[in-house]
Structure 1
Amino acid sequence: MAIGRPARPRRRLERTKLTRTAFLRAPALVAAVLLPLVGSGALEGSHAWLPSVKQDVAQVASTVATGVNGLVRNAADAADPGRRKAVHLESGAARTSARLADASPADRADVLAAAAASGPLQRPYVLKAFAAGHSADEVVRFASLIRGKKPTWLRTHLSLVDADRHSLVTYHAALVRQVDNTTCGSTAILMSRAIVDPIYALYLTTGGTDDPMAARNGPFEARLAAEEERIHDSTNSLWPKKFGTTPSGVSAELNRNAKTLGTRYQARLVEHGRSQPLRDAVAAARYSQPVPVLIGDWLPRHYVLLIGASRGDLLFYEPTAATLVRLDVQDFLAGKVKALGFPHVQAVITPSR
């Protein structure tokens, strides 16, 4: 997906080697022009405590008593103490603890009871849903819906990305990919939410119901396409949809879901010789916070989603082919991302304060 189709340059620009070289050496220059155009994006579960799980509930509740984890500062701070801002990073466990600590005693009891009653395989999904900002009532209904489900069902319906098992991102036989060549940014936003919010993922895969007909491939693909188009409409109130989505449009839409994602986001250009935005993206991925990445050649072209990091590798979701691509972290920090389809990183949309 091209973020914008390059207009035919003026003749004098074609004849000016120096200007052309500047574009080739600093491809983010074009993105710098596009970013300001849209500004900030104007453009029935049981509540009873089950004896067999009282110990588990006590262990979960104890996380509240130990206090809420603070923001974890970027590891790059140690190497660069003069940084002006740290990336807003918080682990999933810290987010769960924070939400439990902030909840009313009644809501906390309901959520912990629902998590305990749902079963050991289902419990992490229940707590993750609460951490994603859902109300206690929504979490209790969700826990009831998934209680007793098998591991394969849970993975298929609540985790669209299964990096340990597949290199393709699929729901049954359906590819989880962009609906057309302008919605890669929309799909990156959609996947960012689906990764952190199992209730949202369940809506996409089943419509949020237990109707087996709604969980078939056809209805899933229809919901996926409709949601991508809804997001595209939201991000492109001013910028033409045929040109894709600007970085500021992506960050604005992510910030509309800041409660779910656990952080706000900011669009940051990646300029030659300045690797801090890329380092911040890697740090966020290490805390399982998704990061949309805009790549291209001398123009911005396509969004991919950085979804994880392990040792020396980074894991990306590529929405055109619905594939998972691994990239050496040092290559990414050097801005070398040809394996993702284009040679350069133009911008990253990273967590912010």
Structure 2
Amino acid sequence: MAGEDTTTRRAAITAAVNAIKGAGSKNDLIEAIDKAIGVTAPLGNPAVIEAAAQACAKAAEHCRHEVEEPVERAAKKSLPQAWEGMASVTAQDVVLTAARTAEQLSEALVGGQKALVRLADGLRVAQETDRRGREALHRARSMLGGEDGFFDDMVEKDAEEAEKERAREIATDGGEARKTAAQEADDAARATARDLNKLAAEARSGKLTGNGLSPVDKMMLADTAMVDEVDKNNKETAEREYNEILSANDLERSSTRLNGMNAADRAEFQRMLDGADKPEQRAYLMKALAAGHDMDELRKFDRRIDGKSEAWLARHLTPVVTEVDASGKPIHGTMPNNFKGDQGWTQGGDGKEASCVAASTVNARAMVDPVYALGLTGGPNGQEDSEAAFRDRLVDEQHRVHDEGDGERGGFFGNGPPTGMGDEGWSEVADNELNSPTGADYERQDLSSADDRRGVLPEIEQSVAEGKPVPIKTVGEGGHALVIVGHEGGKLQVHNPWGETTWVSENDFVNGNMHKASDSRFPDATGVHLPK
């Protein structure tokens, strides 16, 4: 049977339909129809999927009435200021976070229910469309009878030719119906995988399993954002949902490292957490731990960020912040990624050097490693706040990465500005720079068609949902390197090393419209580095 997954099935039936249309002889047409019939039908039981959706709905209702509403009522009461746990965490903080966590759980269950309902509906429609297509193909096959022998094929009567063409027409309609069904099933499966993977990654506090952390500690750390969490009226801001400091990958890796520490290091790190005067400082310490830094580096980092404001921490440690509109949804226009003033996280400092591979890789690493980011923004002592000094350090680091990837340079002696880097160098620097802070081996995958790009989308979206940036290559009039850093509602958040971030649709990525993330010179995504 042809096709074991939705994407393979989609490609197989498309090839079979093309063969039906192009078949010359009766025997060729029979062979093409048989191949179209042999492609597996969309698999799955809509009723079973709907039952799972109903279970999610019941769980959401239970969570809302038995957990969310009681905690929200408690949050409105006057609570004591003291709380046993990390310093500076009040009972009010904890209960508000618990209420938010319960609300997020309810929303996740509702989101899962909606995703499963959409899958069941899409699969049911696809299976019915596929059934009609198979019936037409079988009818066309019956019209043709047995295969022609050698001499039969040499002479074909007008009536036989007319019957063959009628069979071709019916088979084409049937094949197109099966093709539509395969596309519907593929789209439904990918959308469900995308949504469920994102919901799983957002089930955050359960991923923090470090020994010695109390349930309150885990919940507070997982919930801390890099932006203002309440507005002037003490209401939660929408930005926090899209700007948590610790990704799912950070939570898992920091837990693993905590559990692997000896007793002395574990006690010292706990003292760092307890001594931090802000939730953001604690979260960035955990992120630094997740990025693989040793105790000496963690001590220095702790001293350098101690006492800093939330705004200072966000600006020095986070290259990309997701901004939202009045409705609380991400702004899908192009937004600058500036460190200070007009100085952005930009290739060559001003966008003029051809160092996009190195620059995008440096920026991607800074997004997942706050110690590395602070080295660029704050200098050797971590305290600097100069646009010019940041630019100099950023360009120097881009040049280091460019040279380590054997990138080309201009000038008579090859010592001028960067002029580009080949695919092998791109692969080397992507893995070298991103492996340590993410714990993943990055592997290049070439994308030569829309089907290739469509097929890789679930892996891209799962990776960025977990907090692992995904470098991509776009081409047209030359080449340009970008980094996918997030996804939401069928759109990909793409960082451009020209110092900006924008959103493009999944369809734009698949169908050669990636120029929307840069400019008209670079429409086609032809390569991606996936964390494995």
TM-score, normalised to structure 1, is: 0.71
Q: CA deviation at 1:53?
A: 7.7
In 2, are the aligned partners of 1:270 and 1:278 still within 8 Å (CA)? no
- Report the residue type matching 2:256 in the other structure: A
- Report the residue type matching 1:329 in the other structure: E
Q: How does 1:300-311 map to 2 (within 5 A)?
A: 301-311=479-489
- Report the residue type matching 1:222 in the other structure: D
Seen in structure 2, the aligned counterparts of structure 1 residues 177 and 157 have a Cα distance that, compared at 3 Å, is: same
Is residue 2:336 matched to residue 1:168?
yes
Is residue 2:380 matched to residue 1:200?
no
Q: What residue ranges of structure 2 are gaps of 5+ in the alignment?
A: 1-81, 88-93, 95-204, 214-246, 325-333
Supply the distance in 1 between the matched residues of 2:486 and 2:297 (Cα, whole angstroms). 28
Seen in structure 2, the aligned counterparts of structure 1 residues 274 and 254 have a Cα distance that, compared at 3 Å, is: closer
SS at match of 2:86: helix
Seen in structure 2, the aligned counterparts of structure 1 residues 237 and 217 have a Cα distance that, compared at 3 Å, is: closer
Seen in structure 2, the aligned counterparts of structure 1 residues 195 and 222 have a Cα distance that, compared at 3 Å, is: same
Q: CA deviation at 1:253?
A: 1.8
The aligned residue for residue 98 of structure 1 is 256
The aligned residue for residue 295 of structure 2 is 136
Supply the distance in 1 between the matched residues of 2:316 and 2:458 (Cα, whole angstroms). 32
In 1, are the aligned partners of 2:491 and 2:504 still within 8 Å (CA)? yes
- Report the residue type matching 2:322 in the other structure: A
Q: CA deviation at 1:326?
A: 0.6
Supply the distance in 1 between the matched residues of 2:269 and 2:84 (Cα, whole angstroms). 14
Supply the distance in 1 between the matched residues of 2:280 and 2:419 (Cα, whole angstroms). 43
SS at match of 2:322: coil
In 1, are the aligned partners of 2:465 and 2:487 still within 8 Å (CA)? yes
From 254, 258, 263, the counterpart of 2:430: 254
The aligned residue for residue 404 of structure 2 is 234
Q: How does 1:72-151 map to 2 (within 5 A)?
A: 91-119=249-277, 120-151=279-310
Q: CA deviation at 1:300?
A: 5.0
Count of paired positions = 275
Supply the distance in 2 between the matched residues of 1:135 and 1:203 (Cα, whole angstroms). 16
Q: CA deviation at 1:289?
A: 0.8
- Report the residue type matching 2:209 in the other structure: T
Q: CA deviation at 1:247?
A: 3.0
In 2, are the aligned partners of 1:290 and 1:305 still within 8 Å (CA)? yes
Q: Tell me which moved more, 269-278 or 175-184.
A: 269-278
Q: CA deviation at 1:181?
A: 3.2
Supply the distance in 2 between the matched residues of 1:168 and 1:310 (Cα, whole angstroms). 19
From 53, 56, 63, the counterpart of 2:86: 56
Q: CA deviation at 1:222?
A: 0.5
- Report the residue type matching 2:259 in the other structure: A
Q: CA deviation at 1:344?
A: 0.7
Seen in structure 2, the aligned counterparts of structure 1 residues 279 and 291 have a Cα distance that, compared at 3 Å, is: same
The aligned residue for residue 446 of structure 2 is 269
| Deviations, residues 214-249 of structure 1 (Å, cap 9, x unaligned) | 421111110011001011010016898855122332
Seen in structure 2, the aligned counterparts of structure 1 residues 204 and 163 have a Cα distance that, compared at 3 Å, is: same
Q: CA deviation at 1:141?
A: 2.0
| Deviations, residues 261-317 of structure 1 (Å, cap 9, x unaligned) | 2211011100112233343222211212111110012x6510111111122221111
SS at match of 1:283: helix
- Report the residue type matching 1:198 in the other structure: P
In 1, are the aligned partners of 2:474 and 2:525 still within 8 Å (CA)? yes
From 302, 315, 318, the counterpart of 1:159: 318
SS at match of 2:335: coil
| Deviations, residues 55-112 of structure 1 (Å, cap 9, x unaligned) | 239x99x822499xxxxxxxxxxxxxxxxxxxxx962211111111222222222222
TM-score, normalised to structure 2, is: 0.48
Seen in structure 2, the aligned counterparts of structure 1 residues 140 and 337 have a Cα distance that, compared at 3 Å, is: same
SS at match of 1:163: coil
| Deviations, residues 317-341 of structure 1 (Å, cap 9, x unaligned) | 1112x11111112332444313022
Structure with the bigger percentage of helix: 2
Structure of larger gyration radius? 2
Seen in structure 2, the aligned counterparts of structure 1 residues 255 and 338 have a Cα distance that, compared at 3 Å, is: closer
| Deviations, residues 153-192 of structure 1 (Å, cap 9, x unaligned) | 1111111212227910111111210004320000111011
Q: How does 1:211-226 map to 2 (within 5 A)?
A: 211=383, 214-226=384-396
Supply the distance in 1 between the matched residues of 2:316 and 2:426 (Cα, whole angstroms). 25
- Report the residue type matching 2:525 in the other structure: V
Seen in structure 2, the aligned counterparts of structure 1 residues 237 and 157 have a Cα distance that, compared at 3 Å, is: closer
In 2, are the aligned partners of 1:286 and 1:309 still within 8 Å (CA)? yes
In 1, are the aligned partners of 2:353 and 2:419 still within 8 Å (CA)? no
Supply the distance in 1 between the matched residues of 2:487 and 2:296 (Cα, whole angstroms). 34
Q: How does 1:8-47 map to 2 (within 5 A)?
A: none
Q: CA deviation at 1:349?
A: 1.0
Higher relative contact order (CA 8 A, sep 6+): 1
Supply the distance in 1 between the matched residues of 2:452 and 2:280 (Cα, whole angstroms). 43
- Report the residue type matching 1:184 in the other structure: C
Is residue 2:521 matched to residue 1:349?
no
SS at match of 1:63: coil
**Percent same amino acid at aligned positions?**
26
Supply the distance in 2 between the matched residues of 1:178 and 1:216 (Cα, whole angstroms). 18
The aligned residue for residue 338 of structure 1 is 515
